[in-house]
Amino acid sequence: MTKADIVSEIAKSTGLEKVLVLDVVEAFMDSVKESLAKGNNVYLRGFGSFVVKQRAEKAARNISKNVTITIPAHKIPSFKPAKTFVDQVKKLK
């Protein structure tokens, strides 16, 4: 399902115009991205959590040059689904 599909589904179920729904969906995504960029987590009860995870520094290999490189510690965005959401997906056949 794409963003356009989501917008169409919401517009159909609410009776709102697609342009308005698209603006709301875009604003939601921007808010989540801005919050994560500031280091804040976003919790949506019954859906899941968008969290910032810290990755430790680690050693890796560049096999084409046969050298060891160090990947510095960094933060990455992550999504953790709510238990009810996971249970709902598990019931699918």
* 3-state secondary structure at position 36: helix
Strands (E), the chain: 42-44, 48-55, 58-62, 67-71, 74-81
Q: What pTM was estimated for this model as a whole?
A: 0.79
pLDDT of residue 92: 84
- Using the predicted structure, report yes or no on whether residue 93 has a pLDDT greater than 80: no
What's the pLDDT tens digit per position in 66-77? 899 999 999 999
What's the pLDDT tens digit per position in 16-38? 999 999 999 999 999 999 999 99
